[in-house]
Amino acid sequence: MFKNLAVLVSFTLIANTPPLSADTPTRWDNTAAAGISLAQGNSDNLSYNLRLLSLYEHNNIEAKIGVDWNYAENNDTKNIDSFRAFSEYRYLLSDHAYLGTNASYLIDDITDIDYRIDLGVVAGYYLLKNKDQKLSFEAGPGYVWQDQANVTDDYMTLRFALRYAQQLAAQTKLSFTTTFTPAVNDFSDHLLSAEAGIDTAINDHWAIRTAIRYQYDSTPAPNRQSSDTLLTLGLRYTLGSEDTDHTSGEKSSSPAESGAISGPEAIQDGWTSTAALTLSMADGNSDNLNTAASYDAAHRSDTGEFFFTSAYNYAEADNTASADSVVTRTQFNKLLTRNTYLGIGLGFLRDDIADIDYRVTPAITLGHYFIKKDHMTLSLEAGPGFTFEKVNSTTDNYFSIVGGEKFIWEINKRISLKQSLTGHINPSNTDDFNIAAEIALDTDISKHLAWRIAASWSYDNTPASNNDKDDITLSSGITVKF
């Protein structure tokens, strides 16, 4: 009863920090961050993370309160599931020295932590404190209550923490925190945690957040490892707060102010290319890896078009691969009129999980642009082709009919949407067909970097034995534009 009351008092202390008047330059900064990756079908992987954080600075008071949740599963087996709530309160005795209190509540099903409650008080000092950088060190006594592997315990601790934050550029901020919490009567019984993150602003409200967290428990539950590493990549949204310079009290410039986000951008002639990478990882008691890489190139002129796309997806859990596929597509279109073209294309697919050793699909298509504007195109095409494949150790080749659709929309100068749909059918056996669809939304961070949210769907009506017909993936990550 006492431990729950202690945490409640600490969280309530911060939540009841006095509100600010209308002319006060600083206030609560409320942000929400999320990241997700998904593969469903022959590759069943799901991972996501959520984070809510509120920061407060006014006069001689600094406060923080937040929660985060990380979850992942592979083939319906959970391999990450942790929830953490935390709060901090600091009272500045001078410009550099402070006293504070902190509280945290942790649940981690994978490491058998039913609960761990940390409560403490600290004395701290800013070793470095200016407009662009902050470095502080703090130490003090605390107390822990925990239930791990059905064993309850409570003991007194010491807390040592080092924090660093730096504004790297107008749109990018780096933060680092490490905490060491040993038991007072046995320093070999300790918890060490470290977290580093980079936030890159996209506009007034949206930012990309990349973070890595490491935790070491010197006395883990039986059959559990001591160390855990988690890498996350996602979007952060500012909930109605302003970017305020806490030194001068003036609102800092935003990406939106330095570059307008109005009006669409023309789809370029000549060469354009992009490379994208997504990655999420957990190592330790939770072994999970999801990664995807893709490359797209296009060349447009008044007489012809060339397109090349390639993508690689890989995922594993507990050192067992659950996704491993490569897909490429090359096509050249000879423009017969401004809107009509004759295309020659070649596709390739390898998918180890779906037992597709290879599937090669050359084709000749006749296509037409139903929309062809500077900022938007929509085309449909169809024609004869041939399929060479080896599926489930059985080789086959047959005549096929190919169809496709492609949509590109430059929404404004920083946001673009690409979508495509292709299908192959065996006319001698209409039950033998497959469909693939992709969609990607890119939001520019800079001239050469963008944040991509992408989804893909594939359907094989005659899959290899014991495999699913559908495969769905959802991912997000960084895109480089050339």
SS3 for the chain is CHHHHHHHHHHHHHHCCCCCCCCCCCCCEEEEEEEEEEEECCCCEEEEEEEEEEEEEECCEEEEEEEEEEEEEECCEEEEEEEEEEEEEEEECCCCEEEEEEEEEEEECCCCEEEEEEEEEEEEEEEEECCCEEEEEEEEEEEEEEEECCEEEEEEEEEEEEEEEEEEECCEEEEEEEEEEEECCEEEEEEEEEEEEEEEECCCCEEEEEEEEEEEECCCCCCCCCEEEEEEEEEEEECCCCCECCCCCCECCCHHHHCCCCCCCCCCCEEEEEEEEEEEEEECCCCEEEEEEEEEEEEECCCEEEEEEEEEEEEEECCEEEEEEEEEEEEEEEECCCCEEEEEEEEEEEECCCCEEEEEEEEEEEEEEEEECCCEEEEEEEEEEEEEEEECCEEEEEEEEEEEEEEEEECCCCEEEEEEEEEEEECCEEEEEEEEEEEEEEEECCCCEEEEEEEEEEEECCCCCCCCCEEEEEEEEEEEEC
Res 350: pLDDT: 92
Task: Indicate the domain borders of the chain.
Answer: 2-17+26-258, 270-481
Backbone torsions φ then ψ of 94, nearest 5 degrees:
-150, -170
Res 24: pLDDT: 45
- What tens digit of pLDDT does each residue of 69-94 get? 988 887 777 878 889 999 999 999 99
Cβ count within 10 A of residue 328: 15
Checking if the pLDDT of 220 tops 70, the result is: yes
Res 358: pLDDT: 94
- What tens digit of pLDDT does each residue of 114-139 get? 999 999 999 999 999 998 899 999 99
Q: Are 478 and 449 in contact (CB under 8 A)?
A: yes
Radius of gyration of the chain, Cα coordinates, nearest whole angstrom: 27
- Pick the range with the lowest mean pLDDT from 28-42, 220-234, 267-281: 28-42
Res 383: pLDDT: 95
Q: Are 343 and 330 in contact (CB under 8 A)?
A: no
Cβ count within 10 A of residue 462: 12
Q: Is 474 exposed, middle or buried (0-12, 13-18, 19+ CB in 10 A)?
A: middle
- pTM score, two decimals? 0.67
Res 385: pLDDT: 94
| CA separation, residue 232 to residues 116, 177, 289, 472 (Å) | 23, 16, 11, 21
Identity of the amino acid at 349: L
Residue (of 31, 26, 95) closest to 250 by Cα position: 26
Q: Per mean pLDDT, which of 190-194, 212-216, 453-457 is the most reliable?
A: 190-194
- Reported confidence tier of residue 100, pLDDT bands at 50, 70, 90: very high
Checking if the pLDDT of 46 tops 90, the result is: no
Residues 6+ apart with CB under 8 A from 126: 95, 96, 97, 98, 134, 135, 136
Checking if the pLDDT of 185 tops 80, the result is: yes
- What tens digit of pLDDT does each residue of 328-374 get? 999 999 999 999 999 999 999 998 888 889 999 999 999 999 999 98
Q: What is the mean pLDDT of residues 11-28?
A: 47
Res 282: pLDDT: 64
- Reported confidence tier of residue 285, pLDDT bands at 50, 70, 90: low
Q: What is the CATH number of domain 270-481?
A: 2.40.160.40
Res 263: pLDDT: 62
Q: Compare 9 and 404 and report the one with higher pLDDT.
A: 404
- Reported confidence tier of residue 147, pLDDT bands at 50, 70, 90: very high
Checking if the pLDDT of 143 tops 90, the result is: yes
440/86 Cα distance (integer angstroms)? 35
Q: What is the CATH number of domain 2-17+26-258?
A: 2.40.160.40
- Reported confidence tier of residue 284, pLDDT bands at 50, 70, 90: low
1/369 Cα distance (integer angstroms)? 69
- What tens digit of pLDDT does each residue of 186-197 get? 888 899 999 998
